[in-house]
A and B are shown apart, each in its own frame.
Chain A
Amino acid sequence: KAGVTQTPRYLIKTRGQQVTLSCSPISGHRSVSWYQQTPGQGLQFLFEYFSETQRNKGNFPGRFSGRQFSNSRSEMNVSTLELGDSALYLCASSWTAPEVVNTEAFFGQGTRLTVV
Chain B
Amino acid sequence: DAKTTQPTSMDCAEGRAANLPCNHSTISGNEYVYWYRQIHSQGPQYIIHGLKNNETNEMASLIITEDRKSSTLILPHATLRDTAVYYCIVRPRSGGGADGLTFGKGTHLIIQP
What residues of chain A have their CB less than 8 Å away from a CB belonging to chain B? 4, 31, 33, 35, 42-45, 48, 55-56, 58, 90, 92-96, 100-110
Q: How distant is the Cα of A105 from the Cα of B43 in the complex, in angstroms?
A: 11
- Out of A43, A58, A94, name the residue touching B97 (CB < 8 Å): A94
What residues of chain B have their CB less than 8 Å away from a CB belonging to chain A? 32, 41-46, 49, 87, 93-106
- Out of A42, A101, A107, name the residue touching B96 (CB < 8 Å): A101
Main secondary structure of the interface of B (DSSP, over half): loop
A103→B100 contact, CB < 8 A: no
**Distance in Å: Cβ of A33 to nearest Cβ of chain B:** 4
A105→B32 contact, CB < 8 A: no
* A-B contact list, 20 entries, CB within 8 Å: A31-B99, A35-B98, A35-B101, A42-B106, A43-B44, A45-B100, A45-B101, A45-B102, A48-B98, A90-B43, A90-B44, A93-B97, A94-B97, A94-B99, A103-B97, A104-B97, A105-B44, A107-B45, A109-B41, A109-B42
